[in-house]
Amino acid sequence: MAKVLPKIIGNSLNAISYIAPKYASVKALDIFATPKKGRLNPKQKAFLNTATQSSLDYNDLKIQTYNWKGTKETILLAHGWESNSFRWKQIITDLQAQDYNIVTLDGPAHGQSSGKQFNAILYSEFINVVANHYNPNVIVGHSVGGMSSIFFQHKYQNKSLEKMVLLGAPSEFTKVFKNYVNMLGYNKRIENGLNQIVLERFNYKPSHFSAAKFSKEINLQGLIIHDTQDKIIKYDEAKLISSNFKNSTLITTEGFGHGLRDKSVNQAVVNFINA
């Protein structure tokens, strides 16, 4: 049923698009931007309660942050889609052992942050607010958290940052959009409508939002880690970012998938931070 449901939704909105194309496209975008999971459960809360918690504001939205205090450099961790700050538990433990000052945030509509919808552009604004408050030296982003980190640094050129780590990060927003369109089987009316709504809301077409293109203007040390068997974000995306991010190193893994949950990945990140 889980595999059939997207097609049912797609077919329903396709039919509506012949009568009310704008409405169908708006509904399609709402579905795309609304996470189904990522809020905290009791087990996750127990771990996150070991941090000092603070709430910051972006417009009328609350940004939940967590800080494990240390005497060394500040590391900011940005999770991906349908996740939250708990996803960093193991690497937080590893960094705590070396007395780093660790900060995480919950993205829009995730964890304990407010909001009902999520996108990389809004997330990049959340990251900017948090970065201005905590002045991180290193930012680590997984999946769309990595893409949003690039969007943030490209726009704001934060002066405190020295290093950036991208884990399984997508490069082209157009590919993310196209995968969604294909998954639900939307027709051209809805696809074109989605592109038009992005232009209206963000003043640019989806093709503008390219992590590879933006990374050309990022003057940080970069580490990119991506798995060849990542079924969510293809390995080619990492190669595209790497070819444009001039001061970056690409580490290729095999068998860890999109989550990249392995001790060797954590160790590579820690080694990069220590270097």
What are the distances in angstroms from CA 171 to CA 90, 224, 226? 26, 12, 12
**Structural domains of the chain, with CATH:** 34-172+209-274 (3.40.50.1820)
The residue type of 230 is: D
- Which of 191, 181, 164 has the alpha carbon at shortest distance from 248? 164
**What is the pLDDT at residue 1?**
46
Other beta carbons less than 10 A from residue 107's beta carbon? 30
Strand partners, 57: 62
**What is the pLDDT at residue 3?**
60
**What is the pLDDT at residue 177?**
86
Q: Tell me which residues of the chain have a pLDDT lower than 50.
A: 1-2
Distance between CA atoms of 102 and 68, rounded to whole angstroms? 5
CA 75: distance to chain centroid? 16
Strand partners, 250: 224
Q: Do 72 and 84 touch, CB atoms closer than 8 A?
A: no
> pLDDT tens digits for 142-181?
999 999 999 999 999 999 999 999 999 999 999 988 888 9
Strand partners, 141: 78, 166
**What is the pLDDT at residue 29?**
92
Residues 6+ apart with CB under 8 A from 208: none
Please spell the DSSP secondary structure of 46-74, one letter per residue. HHHTTSEEEEEEETTEEEEEEEE--SS-E
The half-sphere exposure of 140 on its side-chain side, counting CA atoms within 13 A, is 22
